[in-house]
Structure 1
Amino acid sequence: MSEKNREGKRTARERLAEERDRQKTAEKRRRVLVVGGAVVCVLALAAVVGVLAAKSGKDKSKADTAGPLTAPSGANGDDSLAIPVGRASARSTLTVWEDFRCPACKSFEDGYRSTIHELTDSGQLKVEYHLATLIDRNMGGSGSLHAANAAACAQDVGKFPAYHDVLFENQPAEADDAYAKNSKLIELAGKVDGLTTDTFRKCVEDGTHNSWVAKSNKAFQGGGFSGTPTVLLNGKNIYQDRTMTPAKLKQLVQQADKA
């Protein structure tokens, strides 16, 4: 074979090799573009889903607290945000801010319930309950809101104290949003004689007092309180008093009653 022919074949082989290299490079670039495009599409889709989910949650939150502000029957205090228990003539007032999903609130109620009942029944103490939804905000869900609305519905028919106690006695774990289900709240109402009326059911299912609960929670947030429960006796925070006991509370109330 002549030197010229060998040179021609080598040049052809080189051209073929170069062409294969160009094709490989083009194919690699195409794959990168396809994968990159897919990633962009996935990220865009995730962003859309995130926006829709956030909007859905926001819309649900708005729906939960939408509607006219309807205070429960007999509510008093600033903006009618307090549910009173006990005689109005009592010389001592216990102001309690609570959340029905709050474990610390349950601990307070379990420890002080019988003493508070004794003092309110005797006319020595009146209690003003304020309802908050702190755990809904911290843990997610709507159980605090729905339970507070149901308690306000119970107040409408004169059954708040008993239903209030039932809700704390049957409180689910903090992360369990069981009270978001109206069926659960109505089921627990069966533990209170005469509460499961059609009026109560409709009030719970319609969220009649949701906007009132939202306003109560807003007052809690603006009150400078450190958390729930917040318990004030005649304006003094006694929950922060490490020496406070049910017996000491009783003694303070009885002393004020005799003064």
Structure 2
Amino acid sequence: MSDKSDERKRAARDRLEQQRELDRARERRRRTLIVATAVVGVLALAAVVGLIAANAGKDDHDSQAGPVATPSGATGKDGLTLQVGADDAPSTLTVWEDFRCPVCAQFEDAFRDTIAELADSGQIKVDYHLATIIDGNLGGSGSLRAANAAACAQDAGEFAAYHDVLYRNQPAESDDSFADNSRLIELAGSVDGLDTPAFRNCVEDGTYDSWVEKSNTAFGEGGFQGTPTALLNGESIFPKKGDEEISVAHLKKWVAEANKGRKPATAGATPSP
């Protein structure tokens, strides 16, 4: 009888201990849930505060950024084109270049005179776009500084002349001497009437830096393979068009074919700023 009584007592104690353990487990879970909920609440609040701060900072930045200064006479989408030649030319040669790009200089040396001849005779207009890929690849700021200076020359109606001076005096690709504004101003002395206080201030102040950066972004978004990129009426012609390699003779032939049955421009001048 005593043995049975002892068993019942042990069983009761075991049940009581199991119940207590269940109660302790519930309490641990309750406390864990409370802490977790508090942490989630803090994180959520931090996220909201961070989002508000980020948006506030973005609004401040956007409001302070203001419109991008555009060179006088710039044309095309977002004013990113510096045009040489008449508006009513029957064909358009679009050229993307970087003033530090050695292949761009080779392209200019090979085709500068031919392109000028075609533009002056009203057969084409040339839409120049500026990029800064060498700065991105090799570091430095010569591409940006030279492009800004070229845009400053556009204000004075001397983009084409200064563009040619920059390529004729292009440093080695790894030499970032175009990053020196004084060098860019010195080269402006080769263009009659360009080295003025207005031009110097434009170069020193980086007036068109944001415009150049916007142009470089457009280059990247255009999916182009590199500089120079040359398109005749939207069709790539560098380094070849179809199966024909680019040459002076081929360039003239391609323009003549594109202009067949169309009259040359009535005015051979570059648009005035």
Moved over 3 A (4+): none
Q: How many residues align?
A: 194
What secondary structure does 1:258 align onto? coil
SS across alignment from 2:87: coil
Instruction: Give deviations 1:126-156, integer Å, cap 9, x for gaps.
Output: 0000000000000100000000000000000
Q: Secondary structure of 2:245's match? A: coil
Task: Give the corresponding residue for 2:52.
Answer: none
Residue of structure 1 in register with 2:84 after alignment: 85
Provide structure 1 residue ranges, at least 5 long, that are not aligned to the other structure.
1-65
Give the drift of 1:117. Answer: 0.4
Greater C-alpha radius of gyration: 2
Counterpart in the other structure of 1:137:
136
2:222 aligns with: 223
- Quickly say closer, same or farther: Cα 1:219–1:109, change in 2 above 3 A: same
Decide which moves more: 211-220 or 239-248: 239-248
1:177-235 deviations in whole A, cap 9, x for unaligned?
Answer: 00000000000000001100111011000000000000000000111111000100000
Paired position in structure 2 for 1:164: 163
Of 246, 257, 260 in structure 2, the residue corresponding to residue 258 of structure 1 is 260
**Which range moved further: 152-161 or 66-75?**
66-75
How much is the aligned-residue C-alpha RMSD, in angstroms? 1.2
Report the Cα distance in structure 2 between the residues aligned to 1:124 and 1:100, rounded to whole angstroms: 26
Query: What letter is aligned with 2:176?
Result: D
Correspondence for 2:187: 188
Give the whole-Å Cα distance in 1 for the aligned partners of 2:121 and 2:83. Answer: 15
Distance 1:83 1:192, change over 3 A: same
The answer (yes or no) to whether the contact 1:68–1:211 under 8 Å persists in 2 is no
- Find the aligned partners of 1:149 and 1:185 in 2 and give their Cα distance: 10
In the alignment, residue 112 of structure 1 is paired with which amino acid? F
Q: How does 1:67-216 map to 2 (within 5 A)?
A: 68-216=67-215
- Give the Cα–Cα distance (whole angstroms) in 1 for the partners of residues 67 and 108 of structure 2: 31
1:101–1:143 CA contact under 8 A, matched in 2 = yes
> Which AA in structure 2 matches 1:252?
W
| Partner amino acid, structure 2, of 1:236 | E
Which residue number corresponds to residue 236 of structure 1? 235
The answer for the alignment partner of 2:251 in structure 1 is: 249
2:118 partner amino acid: L
Q: Measured at CA, do residues 132 and 191 of structure 1 come closer, stay the same or move farther in structure 2, by a change above 3 Å?
A: same
- What amino acid maps onto 2:210 in structure 1? S
- Of all paired residues, the percent bearing the same amino acid is 65
The whole-number CA distance in structure 1 between the counterparts of 2:131 and 2:119 is 22
Distance 1:152 1:118 in 2: 23
Give the letter for the 1:141 counterpart: G
Are the counterparts in 2 of residues 67 and 211 from structure 1 also a CA contact under 8 Å?
Answer: no
Letter in 2 for 1:257: N
TM-score calculated relative to the size of structure 1: 0.73
